[in-house]
Amino acid sequence: MENDKRQRKYFGTDGVRDLANAGNMTPEFALKLGRAFIKFNHGKKIVVGMDTRLSGRMLEGALSAGMTSEGAEVFSAGIIPTPGVSFAVKELHADGGAVISASHNPAEYNGIKFLGADGCKLSDDEELAIEDLLSSDGPCTSASVGKIHDRPDLVELYAKHIASYLNDDAVVNNVVFDCASGASAKSVPVLVKNSGFAKLNTAIISHEHDGLNINKNCGVMHMENLTDYVKKNKMSLGFAFDGDADRVLISDSHGRIIDGDIILWVLGRWLHKRKAQGSDKVAVTVMSNMALEAHLENEGIKTLRCPVGDRYVLETMRESGAGLGGEQSGHIIASEFTGTGDGLCTAVLFMNAVKELNEDVSTLIDRFGRYPQKLTNLTLKKPRELVDMDAVNEIVKEYQSKLSKGRIFIRTSGTEPLLRILVEAPEKNLVDEVSDVLADKLKKFC
């Protein structure tokens, strides 16, 4: 498909997202999305999954109605991580998938994102094609009505699949998992039960969910929930997921946060040591710390930068042949094991890597030596496409010259009404100074 330069109207960095039961997340709009997706996909077998939000069942009913009105068969997995839907699409040889989730956002939000027959997220152009079908809003093209099949067993199949990757000798005692009261609440217990963790002191926290507490004071958005537990209970390691469990962040035994950059540093060296296919390259986003680039270069591994979003990481991996990619936020894709960001899989691979590399996890942060970074978020009072980024970038050029060994990166968020300002340099004082000045000067563009 030719690259379409038009801006998407409804789809952002990670699907369509809005306040539940408002804007673009009403049952009426979900029905239209479901119908448009089947018109685009031309398939008849679709897996649908969701996180624990109260609005999930409402939107699932509407989305499935749109799909079945076009003659599709819907396989409802219930509460399952985004990568679990990806796994199920391939397991069932389905034509695509849909995930109802707003990921790290609070419970009052929800979203819908689509997967292709390969279990991977759609490209920008493919989402534009769905939008074109959405706006046409023509009559149903199918005379038959499809069926809905309940498949609550898919989450267990997925978790057992992930457990099969974990080497027995990589399992350690005193590990805790923070499920963010989200989609991993059902899969983590199955992972633990079907691995060496079952025989050790393993804790699972924030797994209770009521539809309103997803990401609330827990998970990757509130790492203090995990780090405080690790320190209080003298745990050796902790893993926290986001609402749909496609991201993971880690706590070391000191309660310090190991982010996606350090995870990529560990996994990159591990895959390179194993001579895995594509292990000479790692795809990262523009947000990754410059220290990661330096460390990987020392190992003979090339770093490739791309825009923010795990879909762009995957595109870069495919174009370059890189076997590993990810984001600082904890979206990690190891193509030998998964085709999308997968928090549970990343946790398991990290443990395998630590064992094979004989890593001391408690010193990883000290040895990584990241460059000071400051991320400032300015609230947008206008649609992101109306922000004059040319004028913004002219101001950025003026201050980039002050950072001879650093960088400035500015973008509008694809999931929230924010202008993000990232400043990075070896000197913290300079980072703070430039960040504060830029934030003040760029307010007028918001």
Catalytic residue set? 103
Q: Which of 285, 200, 188 is nearest to 239 (CA)?
A: 188
- 263 close to 332: Cβ distance less than 8 angstroms: yes
Q: Which of 184, 230, 240 is nearest to 209 (CA)?
A: 184
Q: Residue 291, Cα to own-chain centre: how many angstroms?
A: 22
CA distance 301 to 346: 20
Distances (CA, A) of 155 to 187, 220, 259, 433, 440: 6, 21, 26, 48, 47
Q: Residue 46, Cα to own-chain centre: how many angstroms?
A: 21
Distances (CA, A) of 129 to 26, 59, 157: 21, 22, 32
Specify which residues 379 forms β-bridges with.
Answer: 418
What 3-state class would DSSP assign to 39? helix
Q: How many CB atoms lie within 10 A of CB 17?
A: 25
3-state secondary structure 49-113: EECCCCCHHHHHHHHHHHHHHCCCEEEEEEECCHHHHHHHHHHCCCCEEEEECCCCCCCCEEEEE
CA distance 54 to 369: 42
